[in-house]
Amino acid sequence: MASDANKNNLIKIENVCYDYGYRNVIENISFQINSGDFLAVLGPNGSGKTTLIKIILGLLKPKKGQIRMWGKPVQDFKNWQKIGYVPQKATHFDPFFPASVKEVVAMGCLSRRKFFSYDKLKESQSIDRALEHVGMKDFKSDRIGRLSGGQQQRVFIARAIVNMPEILFLDEPTTGVDTEMHDQFYDMLGTLNQRENMTIVLVTHEVGIINKHVKQVACLNKSLVYHGTHTEFCKSDEFRKMLEGGHHLVSHRH
């Protein structure tokens, strides 16, 4: 019988390495992502954060090591509807693209149709619920290209969560989001994590996102230099070095 700890483990990264032929990007990384985590994956540009996420999602194959998803090797994993993903630069959108907010979110339902019979009413309800979660329900008839960058990002998150996945990956999600909206944006993610028990993995180079919602931190610089709780990270040598380095995005918010 599996232990409770094993049941709670969603993703296990085991000794993962990757290179682009001419340079190593990821070196021997191992850690776990558990149910209910709000994990910030931190590191400077070029530290391997996006590459690691693409490996976890099966978009890249590691040179060494293995990813396990719900106990299965990633190459054997089939239940991708359990995962939501908002990639980098999702908001770089053609302003003349002829799609409404509702139509964009409906694109996230396509994967579910592979596993369940199509129910137009339930799908419409799922779209409304997802838009309500991100505060965009009143905009569902608007053209996606006419929204602000922050509003577009919320719509893409709605598309990623329309099937209510168990885990949501976001890669540099505040790109294009006004600075004054950052707290509101993270409060929204915190609500998904706490009320919907959705595991959040947030990839960023912004140390300033270490705030009241983040529970765990994985700090990368090709290798894994820290993995643990947010509280312990704020006491760690790694965080102290960032402060001493004068990182302009470091914040003391808790």
Calpha distance 231→202 (Å, rounded): 17
Average pLDDT over residues 116-143: 86
Task: Tell me, rounded to whole angstroms, the distance of Cα 13 from its chain centroid.
Answer: 16
Greater model confidence, 97 or 245: 97
Is residue 88 within 8 Å of residue 171, measured between CB atoms?
A: yes
pLDDT of 180 strictly over 60: yes
β-strand pairing of 199-204 with 38-42: parallel
Is residue 195 within 8 Å of residue 26, measured between CB atoms?
A: no
Is residue 42 within 8 Å of residue 251, measured between CB atoms?
A: no
Q: Which residues pair with 83 in a beta bridge?
A: 167
Q: Look over the chain and give the mean of its residue pLDDT values, rounded to a whole number.
A: 83
User: Please, which residues have CB within 8 angstroms of residue 170's CB and are 6 or more apart in sequence?
Assistant: 85, 86, 157, 189, 200, 201, 202, 203
Burial of 169 (0-12, 13-18, 19+ CB in 10 A): buried
Calpha distance 93→31 (Å, rounded): 34
Q: Give pTM, 2 decimals.
A: 0.85
Q: What is the pLDDT of residue 1?
A: 36
| Domains, the chain, with CATH or none | 4-244 (3.40.50.300)
- pLDDT tens readout for residues 76-119: 998 988 999 998 765 556 666 788 999 999 988 876 555 455 66
How does residue 15 score in pLDDT terms, banded at 50, 70 and 90? very high
DSSP state of 107: G
What are residue 36's phi and psi, to 5 degrees?
Answer: 90, -5
